[in-house]
């Protein structure tokens, strides 16, 4: 099984760099207010204006994590609720990574494949929320995602464990 290691490495480095830069400002109330009003719809959808106003599992996870950092349980629950209702469409507990507007003008899942960074952000945000707001239900949801990541997205090659960026398209 040949893994596209360059792709895996590039995605990991990009996610870590972007997260570190943004999270440095995340706890500032002005930043959070601006982020919420610009990127989070009333129903909890985190909007990616760079992708035709689509939504991604990465964006949803990032919005959830920012809500936890800023102590905004209402927004956290709204974003998590939208995520469950719209991206939790697979047989496992991984989330579809892309939701947007189709050519027929219907808004729905565009790609059922997962994005491991999005699943990881969502699980991490759920674990942080469980601790912050003393909610076991968040931890239970996080553990479902974590189990699916471990079962579906890890491969062993030459005695080493690798994490795939997604379920489909990253092995030969």
- In a domain, residue 170? The reply is no
- The CATH number of whichever domain residue 39 belongs to comes to 1.50.10.10
Cα angle vertex 117, ends 116, 118, to 5°?
90
Q: The whole model's pTM is what?
A: 0.83
Nearest to 54 by CA among 68, 65, 39: 39
Q: Return per-residue pLDDT of the chain as tens, 172 residues.
A: 444 555 555 555 555 555 545 554 556 788 999 999 999 999 999 999 999 999 999 999 999 999 999 999 999 999 999 999 999 999 999 999 999 999 999 999 999 999 999 999 999 999 999 999 999 999 999 999 999 999 999 999 999 999 999 998 887 6
pLDDT at res. 161:
92
- In a domain, residue 72? The reply is yes
Please identify every residue annotated as catalytic.
58, 117
- In a domain, residue 172? The reply is no
Instruction: Look at the chain and report how many structural domains it folds into.
Output: 1
Distance CA 106, CA 36 (A): 25
pLDDT at res. 6:
52
- In a domain, residue 169? The reply is no
For CA atoms 135, 137, 138, 142, the dihedral sign is: positive
- In a domain, residue 168? The reply is no
- For residue 171 the two structure tokens come to 């092995």
Domain span holding position 123: 5-163
- In a domain, residue 155? The reply is yes
- In a domain, residue 43? The reply is yes
pLDDT at res. 29:
82
- In a domain, residue 146? The reply is yes
pLDDT at res. 1:
45
């Amino acid at each position: 099984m040949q893994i596209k290691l360059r792709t895996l490495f590039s995605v990991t480095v990009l996610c870590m760099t972007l997260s570190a830069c943004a999270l440095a400002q995340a706890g500032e109330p002005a930043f959070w207010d601006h982020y919420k009003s610009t990127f989070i719809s009333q129903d909890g959808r985190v909007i990616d204006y760079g992708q035709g106003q689509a939504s991604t599992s990465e964006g949803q996870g990032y919005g959830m994590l920012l809500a936890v950092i800023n102590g905004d349980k209402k927004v956290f629950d709204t974003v998590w609720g939208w995520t469950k209702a719209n991206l939790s469409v697979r047989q496992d507990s991984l989330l579809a990574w892309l939701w947007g507007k189709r050519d027929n003008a219907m808004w729905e899942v565009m790609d059922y494949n997962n994005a491991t960074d999005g699943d990881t952000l969502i699980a991490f945000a759920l674990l942080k929320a469980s601790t912050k707001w003393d909610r076991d239900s968040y931890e239970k949801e996080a553990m479902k995602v974590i189990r699916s990541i471990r079962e579906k997205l890890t491969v062993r090659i030459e005695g080493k464990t690798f994490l795939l960026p997604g379920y489909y398209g990253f092995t030969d």
